[in-house]
Amino acid sequence: MLDLLLSIFCSSLIFVIFKLFDTYKIQTLFAIITNYIVACITGLLFYQEPISFSEIPTKSWFWGTILLGVLFILIFNIMAKTAQAVGVAVASVATKMSLVIPVLVGVVAYHEQLSILKTIGILLALAAVYFASLKTKSIKFSKEVFILPVLVFLGSGIIDASINYFRETKLNSVEFPIFSATVFAAAACTGFVFIFLKSIKTPLKINFKNIIGGITLGVPNYFSIFFLLRALQNESLNSASIFTINNVAIVMFSTLLGILLFKEQLSFKNWIGILLAVVSIVLVAFF
């Protein structure tokens, strides 16, 4: 249970740090790249087996980590912009509602049964993302406040489904740190490509503040995954229960932090979205 609590804390902290990036004018892309370097190094330090870098490309999960790394940095950037543009609570809800995507993948790819209550949960999750994204008193379509959370929702869901696939079919528990480190390394390399292309037009300037922001983000980013993987080894709770407790707690804790630390104002419709989020996760996971 301690592993699960630590994962919840670290995951919630990520959204708060994204918000602070905007407050302290930290360049998100540079900080995120630094974050992945720090997360990669942290993963290597926690890998208890001898490290043979020449053997990593021969692993069955290697090419999957490359694709995941590219997706990680794209979604992390969108997640940061979502937290800054429409709030910590909205970014948290959009990310955690992605639980429905692995469920749908299970139905289509593995022919798992989808009950009526699970179907209702999926529909409620989609409604939750919309209502939690509304920042005005009237329901008014805005590309920024609607598209950003939707992209976070889809991207996070694909990442979760992919990680679950590798955990079930390709990995053993000993390889969790090196697998995570390889994903983070791929994300960092993708970021360097972005920076190089960007530097062609704009000269690259090293900003110490961006590096500090990346280090601050990298440590909880790694441990949010590390502690979740450890929590999933708990024999007294199944994975559905773990994901449910984890996702609901992150939504609630992130919302609380957004209100306490940043004085975020949530409308009645935002609270409806958060309530629908909790109900939908419970329906999808438990029924």
Kindly state the tokens that stand for 193: 């490509």
Say how far apart CA 89 and CA 103 lie, in whole Å: 23
Give 236's DSSP letter.
Answer: S
Q: What's the confidence (pLDDT) of residue 137?
A: 47
- Residue range(s) defining the domain that contains residue 81: 2-286
Q: How far is CA 84 from CA 4, 22, 144, in A?
A: 27, 6, 11
Q: Is the pTM of this model over 0.85?
A: no
Nearest C-alpha neighbor of 217 from the set 56, 62, 20, 7? 20
Say how far apart CA 279 and CA 287 lie, in whole Å: 11
Give 170's DSSP letter.
Answer: T
Q: What's the confidence (pLDDT) of residue 233?
A: 76
Write out the chain's pLDDT in tens, 287 residues. 788 889 999 988 988 898 888 888 888 778 888 999 999 999 888 887 887 888 889 888 899 999 998 998 888 788 888 877 777 777 777 777 787 787 778 777 767 676 788 788 878 887 887 777 666 544 454 666 678 888 888 998 898 888 878 877 888 878 888 888 999 999 999 888 888 887 777 766 678 888 999 999 999 999 998 888 788 777 776 666 677 778 777 877 887 888 888 887 878 888 888 888 888 878 876 76
Number of domains in the chain: 1
